[in-house]
Structure 1
Amino acid sequence: MTPTRVLSLALLLAAPVAAQTSELSRGGGAIPGSATWSVAGDPGQIYAIVVALDETPTEILPGVSFAISDALLDLTFTLPGFIGLLDGSGNATASVPMVDPGLAGLVISAQAVTGPTFGSPSNLVRTTPAVSGTFAATVEAPALPILGGAISQLPNGDLLLAGGSGPAAQRYTDELERFELDGLTFGVGLLSQATALADGRVLFSGGLGLDGQPTDACAVFDPTTGDTTELTMGSPRAGHQATLLSDGRVFLTGGFGDVSIDFTAILTDPLSALSVFNGLLASTEFFDPASLTFAGGPNMLEPRALHTATALNNGSILVAGGMTLIPILNIPTVSATAYTYSTLLGVFGLPIFFDGPRLAHSAIKMADGSVILVGGITLDLEALITSGGDLTQIAIGARDDVVRYTSGLFSGGFSTVGTLSEPRALSGLALLPDGRALIAGGFRATLSSSAIDLGAASSADLYQVGSGVSVTGSMAGARTQPLLANLADGTVLVVGGGPSDAEIYQP
């Protein structure tokens, strides 16, 4: 008797009750490791999980159409746990070892049915096995290219990607590795910020407007309703930071308030180009998502842009690096200082110094509450100034070091904790379930009178507290400032930054 007839016989012997719809989820897929499928339905129901390597719609049971083929139906009856009874909570899980590296690159599609009627198959899920420490392309690519923006988790677990594809939002469904367009949002410019709010909405703030100048325009997008509410900040900002606080507000810091350049004056006085840095802001402001209002905050001790601002476990914010001005002299320089802002006291602390000034670096809070600053750009203007404006004397470079901030009794301090596999700025960061940090992509930047090297990076590193930096697998495409998002099964989605496709990192 064929497996189909066995399943049909179970249907005929079952008591006639109303059809029940089951839910199927999947996890794992690491090689070596295992892939799992979990069925949810009514307690005591018969269940069966069907897997396939192609999605050809098939009537596996009389009158019951699946989105997949029945070519591997025999596995339902031979693999442990793929057929049975749901437990007292209405759940069952089946697991298959993933040992053979040859499984990498396959797309395993699956659906489930539950009895006794077997009237309607579950949702479709897809599993893409991958060797640990490697990146693999998602089954489907984004509908539009993505550059920057923010990722917010929706109530059903899907991810909303907004701000990186002009005014278009995209939705990512992890169970299917599928991207779909999901309405229109707020069109943002270069050097803007997109911040995922605690309730799933997204705040877009500042950036360069159509006139090339920083704008005070901002908006809040609600993905559940599709509504966009346009607002106005207290000050125009571009190249600022917008950090979510523990109380749900957003703290906006620094940026450029003006980037006007007199190109005629530069022809006779190249040093006048440095006046663009006079537009650096020391001001801050708070956004309250409940009232949709902005309120002014305290000034930073130094103006800065292209910095990082990271929320700490104690509710404070660590503001680090960026482009700044030397106090009193007002000479532009890259910052090697950080400050903590106390949300309790409403003040910035004393400066904290770290090795290696940097801007356009990346930062992430580790599982132990410490913060790492990764790579970044150095900009040496000393030779330009001392030469009287010889533009060939500007020296730009990317950093290859990682510094770590740990809090202390007063303000804490920094230490150098590792060297990257290559210099990189604007890399993407994500915290893995085991506490390591994934460092992916970015760009190299070497520009001097003797060397030029500008290019995006496809390489990736891992940082672990106490162990430093190690190399992991490379992405298929080079990406600058990619978006990284943690997925439910412990993998990481990597999207944007140049290539039109997306990849998943398997730890």
Structure 2
Amino acid sequence: MYTISGGNFEPTAPLSVPRALHSATLLTSGEVLVAGGLNTVGATLTPLTSVRFDALFPGGMQFDLHSVTSSVERYDPTRQMWLSAAPLRIPRGSHTALILHSGLVMVVGGSNGTTLRSVELYDANSNRWSAAADVKTPRFAHTATLLRSGEVLVTGGNNLQPSGGEVLDSVELFDPSMGQWVDVPSLPVARMNHTATLLDSGQVLVAGGYSAIENAALRSAFVFDPQRRTWKEVEALPAPRMQQTATLLKDGRVLLAGGAGEPFGAALRSGVLYCPNDGTWQGTAELMVARNRHTATRLASGEVLVTGGSGVFDVNDPWSAEIYQSAKDEWIRVGDLSDGRHSHSATLLGSGAVLITAGQLPTPDPGYTNSAELFTSAL
């Protein structure tokens, strides 16, 4: 395994539409599909639905007015340009997206002022969206994980409606052979803004998140066994954590980085590693910059690139990026982002470069960017 000593960020073509809390999915063609997301009220480049998003995202996303876009774009890494794609059937943000074994992209839930139960499928060959079976419970800020079987596991989230919000313990499983969602045992503890990671064993680790009952970040963690369809509690996190990233390392451990220790609280510099062999956690070296609403991407080298992020209204350094070297348990600073951002996306391309896309600007106002940049590593 080679070791990265640094890297550079270089601007690439901007998107047509500024956005944050969108999805970015690597297609089988090597292109990147960017769909939906939040935008500012009054934007005219794409159909938008104006909504109120008060207290929608525990941890700092308390802005009065947002819009949600149905815009979809495809990034061609060979030509380094964005191409217009068919729009979503329903505008949405804070949804999930993943690519199925069939090559179709599945978009689940999200919100456009109403929490959504709708599911859409994108066929890159025909550039068309089609409706799939709805999830049984509307949700945003949930997770969606592709299992080895090709099934999709959706966990937790929030079902916010005009009458109030409900942080969910419900879990659903999509069977592509039947095209239907089926209920599976609920999470032992309801949560949103958590992480779900497919382990090398084929099981799924769900960790941290926000509890409405406690109005607090969670320490609890559970592992889902798809064969038995059971949940098993594992050792609790050393400290409460929500809005963190979770990255499966090459050695099978899971790195949780950053996040917040309480709702609307300061971002964290700490990281922890989950060891699936014994179901325990161990601390890591501290990140160089405290961050939440950042991204974490495992590089071809096995190291983890962490970019951007912010605490409450830019108390941190949203231009910074760093790499975790698990063999040394060290974080090293790499070149700064061209544009500071959080709530953006980061996608590992076939070339080994990482595409950083859009996001929210590091200002107290709810501004958004359409800029994109490429990270290339240096040995």
TM-score by length of 2: 0.73
Q: Give unpaired runs (5+ residues) of structure 2.
A: 1-27, 32-73
CA offsets 1:380-416 (integer angstroms, 9 cap, x no match): xxxxxxxxxxxxxx8656611111101125xx11111
Superposition misfits of 4+ residues, deviation over 6 angstroms:
26-29, 127-131
What SS does structure 1 have at the residue aligned with 2:370? coil
- Aligned counterparts of 1:209 and 1:180: Cα–Cα separation in 2: 23
| Count of aligned residue pairs for this structure pair | 302
Corresponding residue to 2:199 among 231, 245, 251: 245
**How far did 1:131 drift?**
7.2
What SS does structure 2 have at the residue aligned with 1:349? strand
Change (3 A) 1:286 1:28: closer
2:8 maps to: none
- Aligned counterparts of 2:271 and 2:303: Cα–Cα separation in 1: 14
- Aligned counterparts of 1:28 and 1:196: Cα–Cα separation in 2: 19
What is the one-letter code of the residue matched to 1:399? P
Percent identity, aligned pairs only, is 26
What is the one-letter code of the residue matched to 1:401? S
2:319 maps to: 400
Asked if structure 1 preserves the Cα contact closer than 8 Å seen for 2:324 and 2:330, the reply is yes
CA offsets 1:125-151 (integer angstroms, 9 cap, x no match): xx999971111112x322222423333
Change (3 A) 1:421 1:248: same
1:463 maps to: 375
Asked if structure 2 preserves the Cα contact closer than 8 Å seen for 1:186 and 1:204, the reply is no
**How far did 1:259 drift?**
6.2
1:427 maps to: 344
- Aligned counterparts of 2:241 and 2:178: Cα–Cα separation in 1: 36
Does residue 153 (structure 1) correspond to residue 99 (structure 2)? The answer is: yes
- Aligned counterparts of 1:28 and 1:251: Cα–Cα separation in 2: 28
**How far did 1:200 drift?**
2.3
Does residue 454 (structure 1) correspond to residue 371 (structure 2)? The answer is: no
Corresponding residue to 1:195 among 113, 120, 145: 145
**How far did 1:429 drift?**
1.5
| Range moving further from structure 2, 314-323 or 147-156 | 147-156
Asked if structure 1 preserves the Cα contact closer than 8 Å seen for 2:109 and 2:138, the reply is yes
1:17 maps to: none
1:233 maps to: 187
- Aligned counterparts of 2:81 and 2:122: Cα–Cα separation in 1: 21
- Aligned counterparts of 1:305 and 1:424: Cα–Cα separation in 2: 19
Does residue 314 (structure 1) correspond to residue 251 (structure 2)? The answer is: yes
| Range moving further from structure 2, 193-202 or 233-242 | 193-202
What is the one-letter code of the residue matched to 1:444? L
Asked if structure 1 preserves the Cα contact closer than 8 Å seen for 2:117 and 2:139, the reply is no
Asked if structure 1 preserves the Cα contact closer than 8 Å seen for 2:143 and 2:155, the reply is yes
**How far did 1:179 drift?**
1.5
2:159 maps to: 209
Asked if structure 2 preserves the Cα contact closer than 8 Å seen for 1:152 and 1:200, the reply is no
- Aligned counterparts of 2:226 and 2:150: Cα–Cα separation in 1: 11
- Aligned counterparts of 2:120 and 2:222: Cα–Cα separation in 1: 29
CA offsets 1:241-270 (integer angstroms, 9 cap, x no match): 11111111110111112367xxxxxxxxxx
More helix by share: 1
Change (3 A) 1:355 1:334: same
- Aligned counterparts of 2:76 and 2:352: Cα–Cα separation in 1: 22
Asked if structure 2 preserves the Cα contact closer than 8 Å seen for 1:240 and 1:255, the reply is yes
Asked if structure 1 preserves the Cα contact closer than 8 Å seen for 2:318 and 2:342, the reply is yes
1:181 maps to: 131
Does residue 143 (structure 1) correspond to residue 60 (structure 2)? The answer is: no
- Aligned counterparts of 1:258 and 1:162: Cα–Cα separation in 2: 22
What is the one-letter code of the residue matched to 2:290? P
What is the one-letter code of the residue matched to 1:187? T
Asked if structure 1 preserves the Cα contact closer than 8 Å seen for 2:269 and 2:286, the reply is yes
Larger radius of gyration: 1
Change (3 A) 1:28 1:354: closer
What SS does structure 2 have at the residue aligned with 1:215? coil
Q: Give unpaired runs (5+ residues) of structure 1.
A: 1-25, 30-126, 261-275, 380-393, 448-452, 468-507
1:303 maps to: 240
What is the one-letter code of the residue matched to 2:283? L
